[in-house]
Amino acid sequence: MSEASEERRRRAALLVWRYGGLEGEALLAPLIEREFRGRIALLTSFGAESALLLDMVARIDRATPVIFLDTGKLFGETLRYRDMLTARLGLGDVRSIAPDPAEIARRDADGTLWHRNADACCRLRKVEPLQRALDGFEAVISGRKRYQGGARRDLAAIEPGADIVRVNPLWSYDRERIERAAAARRLPPHPLEAEGFLSIGCMPCTDRVAPGEDRRAGRWRGLDKSECGIHPAHLVEAAR
């Protein structure tokens, strides 16, 4: 292990010791204002449940960079929701990151890669653009929660990584708590939630959720796939 890597490992362990039991704005504030000042970004889909975390970050520092992966396959409602929340919360640095046009032309010229190979499509349209967007940052904030299940069941507040620290302020929140907090802050839901879309990503790979189904059941329905690859432990390795 290099000296720089060892130093990052020691610092990450200290952050876990200091802040690993916190959540919400209590976790975000010291990381945004002190520990990673100017070197931390929020990753958001502007999808279902996104508004609460965006509001938390805005209340601490509206200039915090917000990274939004505009894959070219999103619902129009999501793009309009992004614009509305950006204005409403006063977010000062929303970065809409698109895939490389040359790579799209080379690897998905007809736009149907999602149908032929969903993992390859996510890698092209999400993983690789995110790696470029996070260059220069030391930490990234995500909206994942334990209650979402699957690979997220054992999620920690802070996840040390080889290249970047991942922060999950809502790790301990359940759906009811998110709904109460969003209502108390008068935050508007994503417009597609009312139509049964409870976890919203790219249009071809997002389906409505039937009553009683898991909230993420509509993502990549019919495929043995539950994550797009941008979260640990895939973020660093998936695009190599």
pTM: 0.90
What is the count of structural domains for the chain? Answer: 1
Element (H, E) at 95: strand 94-97
Q: Does 52 reside within a domain?
A: yes
Q: Give tens-digit pLDDT for 61-119.
A: 999 999 999 999 999 999 999 999 999 999 999 999 999 999 999 999 999 999 999 99
Q: Does 64 reside within a domain?
A: yes
Q: Give tens-digit pLDDT for 188-224.
A: 999 999 999 988 999 999 999 988 888 878 887 888 7
- pLDDT score of 234 more than 60: no
- Report the alpha-carbon distance of residue 218 to residue 240 in Å, rounded: 28
Q: Does 107 reside within a domain?
A: yes
Q: What is the pLDDT of residue 232?
A: 58
Q: Does 210 reside within a domain?
A: no
**CATH code of the domain containing 181:** 3.40.50.620
Helices (H), 123-232: 128-133, 175-184
Q: Give tens-digit pLDDT for 134-175.
A: 999 999 999 999 988 777 888 999 998 878 999 999 999 999
Q: Does 149 reside within a domain?
A: yes
Q: Does 240 reside within a domain?
A: no
Q: Does 220 reside within a domain?
A: no
The number of beta carbons lying within 10 Å of the beta carbon of residue 230 is: 23
At residue 141's C-alpha, the angle toward residues 140 and 145, to 5°, is 135
- pLDDT score of 19 more than 90: yes
Percent of the chain with pLDDT over 70: 95
Q: What is the pLDDT of residue 226?
A: 73
- Report the alpha-carbon distance of residue 197 to residue 48 in Å, rounded: 8
Domain residue limits at 13:
3-205
Query: Sheet of 158-159: strands edge to edge?
Result: 94-97, 66-69, 40-43, 139-141, 165-167, 158-159
- pLDDT score of 49 more than 70: yes
DSSP 49-65: THHHHHHHHHHH-TTS-
- Report the alpha-carbon distance of residue 237 to residue 230 in Å, rounded: 10
**Is 122 marked active-site?**
no
Number of H helices, E strands in the chain: 9, 6
Q: What sign does the CA torsion over 194, 199, 201, 202 have?
A: negative
Q: Which is catalytic among the residues 121, 122, 202, 228?
A: 228
Q: Do residues 91 and 62 make contact, with C-beta atoms less than 8 angstroms apart?
A: yes
Q: Which of 4-13, 51-60, 115-124 comes out lowest in average pLDDT? A: 4-13
- Report the alpha-carbon distance of residue 100 to residue 179 in Å, rounded: 36
Q: Does 14 reside within a domain?
A: yes
